[in-house]
């Protein structure tokens, strides 16, 4: 006999006859509502040791999950192991609840909002509850609340990063709205950090947004990023980029870099502060800034409105990976994106052994007048 697929009503009727119903979801999922009288056994645990639940492989069993997919997979696994009478509940707990059948909730499983909001993260083995708690405890400092900062702020807030420190001294202008989706028309004329905080709070009120309506300078940079686990460069000018890079090297902070120009963008991770001689810093890539006429800003050269969204999402992804300690970061790689050709390419970056800021054994040279430095003075 193969896998039988049954309705929630059929499952309830069989429960009355003494056939066991096993909920293969995780405990935090059951907390939001589970079929009455079901036994909670996570799918991985059931598949690893089904004999702990049913030693008799001929015993009839019913499996249920959220919508029916995982329970069917588990049923197929048990059937392959010799269990001959397995049924899976089509539509799962969602349909069970929709059909008005009796439900129990386990309030001991903790914060329902946490489990519901981040349920798709919690199902990822690479994240899980432990990883989500790391995100919740993390502090990300974001320099700039403009085109790059907009998608970064939204997605880090949605992911559950506990604190966002946002530094930007600008106010919302109507010309920003073509790409800076963090702001709305009714925010024109208000401070970007205030507009950002309002939009982040509307998405995820649990995120603590620290606002600094200040231009980043040598005098305040360490105060702005000193508590951060990850720093994100969303600036639109070279003086800020060099300054933030130097501060991250000095303080040992990973820096997620992004930049856009017309139809092209690039992103990387500069982690020289923690990995001297192994990972490059921004100065290893650009020892000296280009002349102003060779790198006009968005106001002068224009930018495709969706471009900062693409690069900003790459930056947000890298920040989350750094917090969780998963995957391979862009450290040592520069990712280029050409929107017109819809093409990504990658350039390998190596640390400069003579870098004035991050060379191994070299003491921090101190902050400089970055505006003069970038102007070629």
Contact 254, 273 (CB under 8 A): yes
Sign, Cα dihedral of 369, 373, 375, 377: positive
The answer to whether residue 298 is catalytic is: yes
CA–CA distance, 196 with 206 (Å, rounded to integer): 14
Exposure letters 285-299 (e unless 16+ CB within 10 A, then b) = beeebeeeeeeeebe
Contacts of 17 (CB under 8 A, 6+ apart): none
Sign, Cα dihedral of 180, 181, 187, 190: negative
Three-state DSSP class for residue 70: helix
Catalytic site residue from 65, 298, 355, 374: 298
**In whole angstroms, what separates CA 15 from the centre of its chain?**
42
CA–CA distance, 138 with 353 (Å, rounded to integer): 32
DSSP sequence for 14-64: HHHTT-EEEE-S-HHHHTT-EETTPEE--HHHHHH-GGGT-S-TTS-EEEE
CA–CA distance, 17 with 19 (Å, rounded to integer): 6
For Cα atoms 117, 225, 151, give the angle at the middle one, nearest 5 degrees.
40
| Residues acting as catalytic residues | 298
């Amino acid at each position: 006999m193969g896998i039988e697929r049954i309705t929630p009503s059929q499952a309830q009727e069989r429960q009355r006859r003494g056939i066991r119903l096993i909920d293969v979801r995780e405990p935090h999922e059951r907390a939001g509502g589970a079929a009455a009288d079901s036994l909670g056994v996570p799918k991985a645990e059931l598949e690893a040791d089904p004999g702990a639940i049913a030693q008799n492989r001929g015993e009839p069993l019913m499996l249920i999950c959220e919508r029916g997919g995982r329970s069917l997979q588990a049923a197929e696994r048990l059937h392959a192991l010799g269990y001959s009478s397995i049924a899976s509940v089509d539509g799962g707990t969602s349909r069970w609840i929709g059909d008005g059948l009796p439900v129990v909730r386990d309030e001991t499983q903790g914060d329902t909002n946490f489990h519901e909001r981040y349920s798709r993260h919690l199902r990822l083995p690479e994240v899980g509850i432990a990883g989500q708690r790391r995100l919740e405890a993390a502090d990300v400092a974001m320099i700039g609340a403009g085109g790059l900062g907009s998608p970064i702020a939204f997605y880090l807030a949605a992911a559950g990063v506990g604190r966002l420190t946002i530094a930007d001294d600008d106010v919302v202008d109507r010309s920003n709205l073509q790409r800076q989706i963090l702001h709305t028309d009714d925010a024109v004329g208000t401070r970007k950090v205030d507009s950002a905080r309002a939009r982040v709070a509307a998405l995820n009120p649990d995120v603590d947004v620290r606002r600094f309506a200040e231009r980043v300078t040598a005098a305040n940079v360490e105060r702005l990023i000193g508590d951060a686990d990850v720093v994100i460069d969303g600036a639109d000018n070279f003086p800020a980029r060099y300054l933030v890079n130097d501060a991250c090297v000095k303080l040992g902070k990973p820096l997620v870099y992004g930049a856009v120009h017309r139809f092209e963008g690039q992103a990387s991770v500069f982690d020289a502060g923690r990995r001297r001689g192994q990972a490059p810093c921004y100065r290893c890539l650009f020892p000296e800034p280009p002349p102003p006429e060779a790198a006009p800003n968005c106001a002068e050269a224009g930018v495709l409105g969706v471009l900062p969204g693409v690069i900003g999402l790459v930056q947000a992804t890298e920040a989350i990976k750094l917090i969780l300690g998963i995957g391979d970061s862009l450290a040592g790689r520069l990712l280029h994106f050409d929107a017109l050709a819809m093409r990504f390419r990658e350039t390998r970056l190596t640390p400069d052994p003579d870098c004035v800021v991050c060379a191994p054994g070299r003491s921090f040279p101190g902050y400089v007048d970055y505006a003069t430095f970038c102007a070629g003075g």
